[in-house]
Structure 1
Amino acid sequence: MANLFNFDDEFKLGIEAADIEHSGLVDMLNTTHELLREGKREEAHTYFNKTLGLYVHEHFTNEETFLESIKYPDLENHKKIHANFRKSFEELVPKIKSADNAAFRQALADTFAWIINHIGKTDKKYAKFYFEKQVE
């Protein structure tokens, strides 16, 4: 399988539960990409919509619960970022159903870029806060 993206150590937060879920998100995007590459467009769309969509919702809920538990000061902003992604994802799903494969691939690449940017910047901020709090 030719992965679109590999979840490397540089994207790990050092928080096991988050790292496992983030790796799972990347794996699911890679699976969607592979299904599309194999010409299984309908299966790719269903997987993207249902499996990945449900996992994203579950992950964001878990992450927000964790951030509440550590009293993360930027929690409300983090929730807004998640809410905006959920809205964009929900709007994207019907668009890619009728789009050609190139547009589907671009949507997949854009989703990858958002997730990787979110993990690499936004989530790393809460990880830094968490580990600094552990030292106190």
Structure 2
Amino acid sequence: MTNIIEWDKKYSVDVPELDECQKQLMDMFNTLIEMKTSKADAKDVANLITEINEFSKIFFSKEEKLLGSKGYPDLDIHSKAHRRFIKKALGLRREIAEDVDNLAIEDIVELQNWLITHFESTDIMFIPFLRLHRYVDECENKK
């Protein structure tokens, strides 16, 4: 099956809860691609896109809350990237509101690729920041 993606350690942000959210989101995209290529029921496809959108909001909110609690300096830029993803996902949902055949596999893959690129190039930026804060917190707790 083409375009199926597997979670890899290189996507890890070193926060187990967020890593698990990444895995779940990737699984949802894999299911969506499978559904689209197997001509699944239009209602099921639409429901999964809605689920992806809702889950993304929860996932991104957790990530942003964590980053905000640590004072991550690029949180605003990071949050805007999340909003762009959600807007694109909503666009997919609207696109198929009238006819699921309007949804092209390329549209799904484009959104999926955006997500992978975000994990690899944007999320990776906050990992050292969080590690430093974790170290400082551990040092303060030892006092």
Determine the structure 2 residue equivalent to 1:82: 82
Query: CA offset at residue 38 of structure 1?
Result: 2.1
Query: CA offset at residue 3 of structure 1?
Result: 6.6
Q: Structure 1 111/41 Cα, relative in aligned 2: closer, same or farther at 3 Å? A: farther
Query: CA offset at residue 132 of structure 1?
Result: 2.6
TM-score, length of structure 1 as denominator length: 0.87
Q: Which runs of 5+ in 1 are unaligned?
A: none
* Structure 1 segment 71-110 matched on structure 2, within 5 A: 71-97=71-97, 98=99, 100=101, 103-110=103-110
Q: Which runs of 5+ in 2 are unaligned?
A: 137-143
Runs of 4+ in 1 over 6 A off after TM superposition: none
Query: For residues 47-77 of structure 1, what are the alpha-carbon distances to aligned partners after superposition, in whole Å with 9 as ceiling and x for unaligned?
Result: 11x2111101111111111111111111111
| Backbone CA RMSD of aligned residues | 2.0
- Asked which structure has the greater CA Rg, the reply is 2
Which stretch of the first structure deviates more once superposed, 50-59 or 125-134? Answer: 125-134
Amino acid aligned to 2:19: D
Amino acid aligned to 2:53: G
- Distance (Å, rounded) in 2 between the aligned partners of 1:116 and 1:26: 9
Aligned residues: 134
TM-score, length of structure 2 as denominator length: 0.83
Does residue 132 (structure 1) correspond to residue 107 (structure 2)? The answer is no
* Structure 1 segment 1-136 matched on structure 2, within 5 A: 4-42=4-42, 43-48=44-49, 50-97=50-97, 98=99, 100=101, 103-136=103-136
